[in-house]
Amino acid sequence: MDQMPTRPYRALDVADPVAVGREVFAEHDARRSVRDFTDRPIPRDAMELAIRTASTAPSGAHRQPWTFVLIGDPEVKRAIRLAAESEERENYAGRMNQEWREALAPLGTDWRKPFLEVVPWIVVVFEQRYGLGPEGRTHNYYVKESVGIATGMFLSAIHRMGFAALTHTPSPMRFLVEMLERPENERPFVLIPVGYPAEDCEVPDLRRKPLDEVMVDVT
Query: In this predicted model, what pLDDT tens digit does every residue of 35-83 receive, in sequence order?
Result: 999 999 999 999 999 999 999 999 999 999 999 999 999 999 999 999 9
Query: In this predicted model, what pLDDT tens digit does every residue of 92-139 receive, in sequence order?
Result: 887 888 888 888 888 778 889 999 999 999 999 999 999 988 878 999
Q: How many residues does the chain have?
A: 219
**In the chain, where the domains are located:** 35-198
Residue 95 DSSP class: I
35-198 CATH, one of 3.40.50.1110, 3.30.110.40, 3.40.109.10, 3.50.50.60:
3.40.109.10
Which among 204, 27, 31, 51 is positioned nearest to 122, based on CA atoms?
A: 51
Model-level pTM?
0.92
Asked if residue 126 lies in contact with residue 67, where contact means CB atoms within 8 angstroms, the answer is yes
Element (H, E) at 126: strand 121-128
